[in-house]
A = this chain, B = another copy of it.
Amino acid sequence: MKYTDFDKSAGYAGLLEIANKSEAFDFKKMLNADRVKTCQTFLAEGLVYNWAAKSVDEKVLNALQALSDELELIPKYKALLEGEVMNTGEDRKVLHQLSRSLDEKTATGISVENEGRDLGAFYRKELIRFSEFTERVRSGEIGPAPGRRFTCFAQIGIGGSDLGPRALSLALENWAAAEGKITYRAEFISNVDPDDASKISSSLPLEETLFVLVSKSGTTQETLTNELFVKEKLKNAGLDPGKHMLAVTSETSPLANNPGYLDSFYFDDFIGGRYSSTSPVGGVILSLAYGNDVFKDLLIGAASADKAALNPDITKNAALLDALIGVWERNFLKMGCTCILPYSQALSRFPAHLQQLDMESNGKRVNRDGKPISYSTGPVIFGEPGTNGQHSFFQLLHQGTDIIPLQFIGFKQSQRKDDSVIDGSTSQAKLNANLAAQITAFAIGQGSDNGNKDFPGGRPVSLIYGDRLTPQALGALLAHFENKVMFQGFIWNLNSFDQEGVQLGKVLAKKILTKAGKSSGDPVLDAYGEILGV
């Protein structure tokens, strides 16, 4: 396998030439009903990725295919699945896809050995262990005290141990309720701000609450602080913290094999935090709250998107095409942001998860060997659910001075199927009418002699749509974006799987906390500490 900086590739030069020479893509001329219905590809689990309103014509598409072939994106993905060390900075394999395997023959048909250990088997063993455990909790067999049940579950974690599981929990809650699943309350404590742990813990029925402590390293400052914070609350309520807490961690962490927890479930260094939602990090809390079958359906959906991402034909591989179009927009059309707009209230925190997934993975300025690069990498990711966003920041998206590529997500049916016909249409129809209207308005616009009412259009838009946000569809959606980010990392020749950029802040924070009234040796740091009262 060859690893080349992006700007040294023939594909880069080819795309640059197209961008410099060709006239801008004319949405008004190019976008018609036929294009809307044909420029799309199957993603997985009934989801479709539609790129009709992206500024991509035959020429660009061919150049992107050539780039994908030249940079060996699919072989690189296969190498990752096979256990090649893709996290070069930390000298680690990257195996979150393997966590989706429900049987011995893993979803992608590949397993990985490490130091004589079958890692697929290890992940499956933990999946089976926590599946059984969580069902025993849900059935009441395991409870806080004889004759009592756990009715509430609260995850303590931050970053990847928080955003993904939280977004998925919100996304599954309505669906599970509508499908008649037995559901329990799931809460999340993340911030070291004491107002977070204090508010959540004071709102919980502590005697019926099971906490899930999640930290791979077992050393995350916020999470350990919040663990002790909560344990104090439990003790003050006359409860035994050991009966109210699980650990999800790595086998080598200080939290592992600790009898102070009701039970512990394991994952390892080959599953990065922001990629860990399909490991016990997401699995334990989601299984407790919504049932193990729901979580397994999510894994099936993720695995099927992983499989679909193996297709070398970019027009038949949604994650790959999405990645390539993103690079076209970022490096050649010079667009610095991407906005994620799910027209689904259930996905209200999905943009926050994708913000972490994408920006922490590809917000890098060195290549996979640590050498500086001279092209743009990961964009800023932001977004809110529609239609809410329409009444908020869409003004800038339509008529601002910068063009922001847009990524819409929509479903034909609601999750709860509780709807009313008002003024001749259901709320779901209104939601999707707005979605179709926004895409058209962004792409085509509408002229006016009044500059203030003139919509220039030309805002590139993609749409992922499906019938209904089921656990399978949600899993596919999650994996789609993980794989998109992975492919972009390959293109930019960077390591999407480490996060050295978070280290310096940790070191400096520790400096302040341990200086004990004296100087930390860094006068600027001390001065900021002083004005902030620390």
Contact = CB atoms under 8 A, between A and B. Distances in A.
Given A401-B377, A509-B433, A423 B225 contact: yes
A194 B445 contact: no
A506 B365 CA distance: 41
Nearest to A508: B437
Most B CB contacts (10 A, CB to CB) among A190, A220, A394, A446 go to: A394
A225 B423 CA distance: 8
A234 B523 CA distance: 62
A393 B356 contact: yes
Give the interface residue-count category, chain A.
35 or more
A529 B452 CA distance: 27
A355 B392 contact: yes
A515 B363 CA distance: 45
Interface string A434-457: 111111110111100011111110
B195 A513 contact: no
Contacts of A509: 430, 433-434, 436-438
A465 B532 contact: yes
Interface stretch (A106-114, A141-149, A315-323, A413-421): A413-421
A390 to B, nearest CB: 6
Contact of A228 (B232, B372, B422, B451): B422
A420 B197 CA distance: 11
A137 interface: no
B502 A225 contact: no
A41 interface: no
A338 to B, nearest CB: 10
Contacts of A439: 528
Interface string A341-353: 0011110000010
A392 B359 contact: yes
Interface string A388-421: 1011111111111110100000101111101110
Contact of A440 (B220, B510, B525): B525
Interface stretch (A155-163, A255-263, A276-284): A155-163
Interface stretch (A30-38, A65-73, A76-84, A302-310): A30-38
Q: Which of A48, A346, A504, A528 has the most CB of B within 10 A?
A: A528
A361 B396 CA distance: 8
Interface stretch (A8-16, A17-25, A92-100, A379-387): A379-387
18 contacts: A36-B531, A89-B452, A158-B387, A174-B195, A193-B431, A225-B427, A226-B427, A229-B427, A376-B402, A394-B502, A395-B501, A396-B501, A398-B501, A398-B502, A432-B533, A436-B528, A438-B505, A438-B509
Given A159-B390, A336-B336, A360-B396, 8 more contacts: A191-B431, A192-B434, A377-B400, A395-B501, A399-B501, A432-B529, A432-B533, A444-B524
Report, nearest first, the 5 A-B pairs whose CB atoms are least far apart.
Answer: A363-B396, A159-B391, A437-B508, A36-B527, A356-B392
